Structures are given as structure tokens and as C-alpha cells.
A and B are shown apart, each in its own frame.
Chain A
């Protein structure tokens, strides 16, 4: 039982490049989330998907797009990467919004 799997684990991009971060969960959870974690700050929600077929903006959505491909998969896309998007990105899932969230091990993204 893998839980929440994120790929890639590490990535270096140049300013202006695009990329998609992948996330998949095998717990049959309804809700999925994308966060970023920056030094000295709490995790901040980028986008979430309360259920399959729906997505909504979180606290810091600018510069990102998401796709809930199916119940298992939720991807995060950076269309034109900027140095301010250098961060560790975490995907999480939960059965419902009031249940504990299960996190992946993150993607460490550096943008030069």
C-alpha cells in the first residue's frame, strides 16, 4: 500500500520553463490537495479537489494550474516557472475534508 506517491522527487528548471508534478493515491480518497512548503513558513494550500471532477483555488494559486485526472490522480502544472516558485511541493489526500490528510514525500523544485 503506497499511500500518496509524488513524481518527480527532485527537479531543476530554468525560468520560463513549464512542468507538471504528478500525484497519485491508492486509498480511494475523495479529496486531494497541493501545498507548497517554504522555509520558516507553514504549508500553504495552492489548489484542492474536494471530489473527482472539481477543483478550487487555495491560498496561493497564482502561477499554477491543476487537473483532477480521475479519483486517484491530481496533477499540478507550472506554465512558466519563476524563481519565486522554488519550493517543496506536497500532495495530500483525505477521505473527506474533515479527516486527516495523508501526504506524499514531496517534490523539491528549484527554479534558476
Chain B
């Protein structure tokens, strides 16, 4: 069973609207949580990285939140643009000597005009 679950699997939103993606994890011990954006045919690109002591971090129109007590994170996209169409991947870093990462399967976002 994947220790990082993302929902929804996919969503379609109108350009200019907001959306929120969810990530639940069971990884323990936990070091940090990351969100990546992966465009079709490209490698993932880092959006945010949060330690367990941070509960929000922004990168432009992307805002990530973290609740380490409930082991939940969300990624909010504000005023979506066509270029936001991509897969968004939640990644949890396990606390150990080499920083093993557990990847979620991603949420596929399609922004339509």
C-alpha cells in the first residue's frame, strides 16, 4: 500500500478558477514534505518543500499547507492558467540517513479555456 495517497486522481477546472489538491501520508518518521509539478513528457519540478514545523509555504500562485498532526497536506492553485495543466506530485521524505522519498501517484490537473 502506498504510504502517500493523493486525491483526486484527476480534475478539470476552468481557467481563472481556484483548486485544491489533497495529500494524505502515513510515512513515519517524517522529515519534510514536497510538492512537484510534472508537465507531460518532462521531469518533475520542485514547487515547495516544508519541514514538519512549517504549516504553509507559497510559490507564486501555489500555496502548500501541512498539518503534521493529521498527516495531511494540500496544494492550492489560485487563478489557474492554462500552463498549470500538469500532474502534481506529493512527496514525503523519510527521516533517515539518506533521505528516502515516498512519492504519491499524482493528481492530473487539466485547465480549460
Contact = CB atoms under 8 A, between A and B. Distances in A.
A43 B43 CA distance: 11
Nearest to A103: B43
What's the interface size class on B, roughly? Answer: 20 to 34
Contacts of B42: 105-106
B104 A100 contact: no
B102 A50 contact: no
Most chain B CB within 10 A, of A42, A44, A48, A103, is at: A42
Nearest to B103: A42
Contacts, number: 49
B43 A97 contact: no
Interface in A31-76: 40-45, 48, 50, 56, 58
Nearest to A50: B98
Nearest to B5: A42
Contacts of A43: 44, 89, 101, 103
B31 interface: yes
6 contacts: A42-B89, A48-B98, A97-B99, A98-B31, A98-B32, A100-B34
